[in-house]
Amino acid sequence: MGVRIETEQGIAWITLDRPEKLNALDAETLAVLDRILDDVEGDPEVGVVVITGAGDKAFVAGGDLAEFQQLFARGDFEQILARAQVGQALTTRIERFPKPVIAAINGWALGGGCELAMACHIRIASDHARFGLPETGLGLIPGYGGTQRLPRLVGASLALDMILTGEPIDAAKAFAAGLVSRVCPAAVLKAEATRIAQAILTRAPLALSAAIAAIQQGLDQPMPGALELEAALFARIAGTHDAKEGAAAFLQKRAPRFEGH
């Protein structure tokens, strides 16, 4: 089916699993991933999501070019537009997902793979990961949000360089540019993702969702509107049981017991 999911101790591990295609995203994989996100979002036992790729070569090496070539050969431009819109809807869903989503980038993240990673809330990379948007070399441009998210993350200068030349960058440069927040040896990538996820799981679930909403929705607004959004979310969260519990635990010098309400 191209996607595997395993849940343990509050963490949903979603693995893109098409190693023979370097985990490339075809239409079925996009649809299955969306359905899995439905299940994960509604599962009260899941607090954090980690997305990674099968094998040690690629996170996701882009869209499935053979599948796209069939659409190009037929001149099916309505279907090509629809595919871009599906990819954009999925990456936007991940970007605004109410539970934290970590990308554990274990190898090549190219094209749609780089776009998928950029939609995640936290990106950690193995030291041999590589990032690129090579679509212009195929006569295309990024279509799953890459032309918009990359400059927001790394600035227009580097984004234009990467997209216009198609040249990939390594994990060290990705870290320096702010494309990823952490880099670690490949052998400990899963352990590092687990450690980060476990740290997040100690936080209040509603506060995590509100923080994601404040940041992701606020980025789309001028500062005055973004500050209004932050204040409204702050006030809403301040009235929850978990906010009261957090304050009480701090004053009592004990670990909080958050319940998600």
> Domain locations in the chain?
3-201, 205-251
What separation in angstroms does the CA of 242 have from each of 114, 213, 215? 36, 18, 21
Whether 101 and 120 have beta carbons less than 8 Å apart is answered as yes
Average pLDDT of 98-119? 98
Is the separation of the CB atoms in 49 and 85 below 8 Å? no
Token reading at 175:
């870290």
Instruction: Give catalytic status of residue 8 as yes or no.
Output: no
CATH number of 205-251: 1.10.12
pLDDT tens-digit map of 77-89: 888 888 899 999 9
- CATH homologous superfamily of 3-201 equals 2-enoyl-CoA Hydratase; Chain A, domain 1 (3.90.226.10)
Q: What average pLDDT does the segment 54-75 reach?
A: 85
- CA distance linking residue 151 with residue 84, whole number of Å: 19
Instruction: Give yes or no: 115 in active site.
Output: yes
Task: Please tell me the pTM assigned to this model.
Answer: 0.95
Query: How many CB atoms lie under 10 A from the CB of residue 46?
Result: 17
Domains 3-201 and 205-251 belong to one CATH topology: no
In this predicted structure, what is the pLDDT of residue 70?
80
**What percentage of the chain carries pLDDT values higher than 70?**
100
Listed range (22-26, 69-73, 150-154, 199-203) with the worst mean pLDDT: 69-73
Check 28, 45, 78, 135 and give the catalytic one: 135
- Neighbour tally for 180: CB within 10 Å: 24
**Better-scored residue on pLDDT, 74 or 225:** 225
Angle, CA of 72, 74 and 79, to the nearest 5°: 70
Residues for the chain: how many in total? 261
Residue type, 77: F
pLDDT reported for residue 174: 98
| Distance between CA atoms of residues 70 and 72, nearest Å | 5
Q: Does residue 1 carry a pLDDT above 70?
A: no
Catalytic residue among 28, 41, 115, 167, which? 115
Which pLDDT does position 75 carry in this prediction? 78
Which pLDDT score is estimated for 9? 95
CA dist., res. 100 & res. 187, Å (int):
23
Does pLDDT of 141 surpass 70?
A: yes
Q: Read off the pLDDT of each residue in 47-56 and give the average, rounded to a whole number.
A: 96
Task: Centre a 10 Å sphere on the Cβ of residue 175 and count the other Cβ atoms it contains.
Answer: 19
Cα Dmax for the chain: 68
Summarize the confidence of residues 124-152 as an average pLDDT.
97
CB of 133 within 8 A of CB of 111? yes
Average pLDDT value for the chain:
95
Residues 223-258: pLDDT tens digits? 999 999 999 999 999 999 999 999 999 999 999 999
Q: pLDDT at position 71, please?
A: 77
pLDDT-based confidence at residue 72 (cuts at 50, 70, 90): confident
List the 169-170 sheet strands across, edge first. Answer: 58-60, 108-110, 130-132, 169-170
176 pLDDT tier (thresholds 50, 70, 90): very high
